[in-house]
Amino acid sequence: MLAHPAHLLSQGFGSGLSPIMPGTAGTLFAWLSFVVLSVRWPQIFTPLTWGGIIVIGYFIGVWACDVTGKNLGVADHGSMVWDEIIAFWLVLLLITPAPISAQFWAFVIFRFFDMLKPPPIGYFDRQFKGGFGVMFDDIVAAFFALLVLAFWHNW
């Protein structure tokens, strides 16, 4: 992880090195970091700031995941969780302010879409390779999680 800055980022500052469900560990890191940073420094981590972090983080993530995938010899290595982090930050940004129970269900629904990759998520996962492919399918999973949450909220 420390061999290259891209590895540090793509492996979620170590959260992706979890021997058990690294994607879930990365998503938990995203949740914890979003809450801690937003509560501790609300004047810095505003919705606008988070939006910028997510957009810039997405494009840097394409590069970082591409470099890490090539260096590890696996295009979408399980330890690469920056895609989950960025995607879940997006989910949290768009549901905030939300009670912890809503954040929990957002976590569960996002992990469902990210792990099972139902259509069209699985299609994008198979079609797009490299760093872009790693990052894009999780953004699509985030979109579907947000769609379910929106329907649920308005039910």
Class of residue 26 by CB neighbours under 10 A (exposed 0-12, middle 13-18, buried 19+):
buried
For the chain, the domains span: 5-11+24-153
pLDDT greater than 90 at residue 153: no
Q: 47-102: per-residue pLDDT in tens? A: 999 999 999 999 999 999 999 999 999 989 999 999 999 999 999 999 999 999 99
In Å, how far are 17, 42, 89, 106, 108 from 45, measured between CA atoms?
A: 27, 5, 12, 20, 24
Scanning 96-129, the segments in alpha helix (DSSP H) are: 100-116, 121-127
- What is the model's pTM? 0.95
Average pLDDT of 2-29?
Answer: 95
- Report the alpha-carbon distance of residue 43 to residue 22 in Å, rounded: 31
**pLDDT of amino acid 1:** 66
